Structure 1
Amino acid sequence: MRQLRLAKDLMDRDWADPALDLEAVADRAGYSRYHFLRAFKEAYGETPRQYLTHRRIERAEDLLRTADLSVTEICHLVGFSSVGTFSARFKARTGLTPSEYRAKHVGRGAALIPGCYAMLWAGGFRRSEQSNSGEAG
């Protein structure tokens, strides 16, 4: 179970890394990808991909509510490489497209964090996390 927690921690920490995939997480846990997939689903009730997607969608929800960034910028910032995939998974999780979600949750005239600050913070956050984990930036 400890190895599974380490893998889950990796996904919690590096959720925005588009290179984070089943192979990388399984390697971190010391499992083959197929054994890891089964063990993770048994322990947490969802596949690693589902878990990582949920983490990314949660972050996207935060950014849609607070940052003046386009849906495309948010898509890439949270680790998706395709806006179509991001939008489909976002809608499957929330019942709304990213644009509909923003319209519903952001009041008219609300002051959003300027996109440049949000992107600077997100980039700085990732660099900080990498330096804390001993990885090169």
Structure 2
Amino acid sequence: MKMEKGTAKEIGKEKAADWAKGLRHFPNRKAEAHFYGAQMGSVPDGWACRRHLHHMMFELNLVMEGTQLAEVGGTVYRQGKEHLILVPPMMLHSYRAEGAFAFFVMHVQVDDPVFLNKLNRAKLFLMSPEQELNRLLLPEVRRIMALVQDSAASKTQLFRSLYAIMELLESSLATQEDDGSDADVLPIRIAKAIESLVAERHAEEAIAAGWMEALAERLGFSRRHCYRVFRDAYSLSPRQYLAVLRQQEAMHLLMGGELGVEEVARRIGYDNVQSFIRQFVKWTGVTPGAFRRQRAGETVYLTPLELE
């Protein structure tokens, strides 16, 4: 019996439709991680690293020999050999030596606001060698230490260990979160908007007096609500965060040596250079010119202000 052509086409369409019904489509995904400010070395007794923060990135700090005192979020921790300190984004912290000691430090910027906010909420901070998370993280940190010293090591090797660290942290965070709880991403959105005030301006633009009200309006919330959620997340106010960013960015620009003091002032939102100089003296104890001449070695811990 001969089958008509039209019938064959219809059967083919039905088979194609049945096959298509079995397909599952998944969303496209993109992830970015940046590896910043890795350092290793020994420092003498009396060494100190002044109070600072890192925007949109977390820090892992390992003491290899000796002891340092780490202040994170207002609490001082004694960090001994093989102790890890995890500093979440936007968390003020400082270090000082308790005798000579050796260390390794690295910073990781990621584009996952939920993960970053969970880091803030978890308050992992000091992890001693006796803790399970320390035992899991330490081999990956040591692997990264070896990779950064190997000129032949590939990016793939480095970032494999970075993502292994983030996976271990995510697993730990998952056990600490209440069922069904989600980190509020609004504090991260506020932080990014504040960073834009410093990083995404033309030189002649100053930061206006009503910047917080304008920022809250753009985000669709009240100024009071934005202030509260930011303070709850990071233990500092939006205004304090802006001040720290301006200070750190000014130090970066001055260390670069290419811009004049007046240009640096404008770049961080000051339309009056004398106001900037007075404020810089309050921040550091010296004028911008003196700071540049001294090229204070302690500023190497500062990570760059970069937006997505």
Shared fold (TM-score, shorter chain, > 0.5): yes
| Distance (Å, rounded) in 1 between the aligned partners of 2:216 and 2:279 | 23
Structure holding more strand per residue: 2
Q: How many residues end up aligned between the 2 structures?
A: 109
Larger radius of gyration: 2
- Determine whether 1:100 maps to 2:268: no
- 1:50 is displaced (CA, Å) by 1.6
User: SS of the counterpart of 2:240?
Assistant: helix
Residue correspondence of structure 1 range 102-117 to structure 2 within 5 A: 102-105=292-295
- 1:92 is displaced (CA, Å) by 2.2
TM normalised by structure 2 equals 0.32
- Determine whether 1:65 maps to 2:248: no
- AA aligned to 1:83 is V
- Determine whether 1:10 maps to 2:200: no
Kept in 1: contact 2:249–2:268 (CA 8 A):
yes
- AA aligned to 1:82 is N
Name 1:40's counterpart in structure 2: 230
Q: Could you give the per-residue CA deviations for residues 48-92 of structure 1, whole angstroms, max 9, x where no partner exists? A: 122112112211111111133221111001222222332232222
Q: Could you give the per-residue CA deviations for residues 73-114 of structure 1, whole angstroms, max 9, x where no partner exists? A: 1100122222233223222222222112111117xxxxxxxx
User: SS of the counterpart of 2:215?
Assistant: helix
Gaps of 5+ in 2: 1-183, 297-305
TM normalised by structure 1 equals 0.65
Q: Which has the higher contact order (CA 8 A, sep 6+)?
A: 1
Kept in 1: contact 2:190–2:226 (CA 8 A):
no
Kept in 2: contact 1:3–1:30 (CA 8 A):
no
| Distance (Å, rounded) in 1 between the aligned partners of 2:270 and 2:255 | 18
| Distance (Å, rounded) in 1 between the aligned partners of 2:270 and 2:257 | 17
- AA aligned to 2:186 is Q
Between stretches 75-84 and 21-30, larger displacement belongs to 21-30
- 1:19 is displaced (CA, Å) by 4.1
Closer, same or farther in 2 for the Cα pair 1:84/1:44, shift >3 Å? farther
Name 1:26's counterpart in structure 2: 216
| Distance (Å, rounded) in 2 between the aligned partners of 1:90 and 1:41 | 24
Gaps of 5+ in 1: 107-125, 133-137
Closer, same or farther in 2 for the Cα pair 1:95/1:29, shift >3 Å? farther
Closer, same or farther in 2 for the Cα pair 1:84/1:46, shift >3 Å? farther
- Determine whether 1:88 maps to 2:278: yes
Kept in 2: contact 1:56–1:78 (CA 8 A):
yes
| Distance (Å, rounded) in 2 between the aligned partners of 1:89 and 1:45 | 23
- 1:34 is displaced (CA, Å) by 2.4
Kept in 1: contact 2:280–2:287 (CA 8 A):
yes
User: SS of the counterpart of 1:31?
Assistant: coil
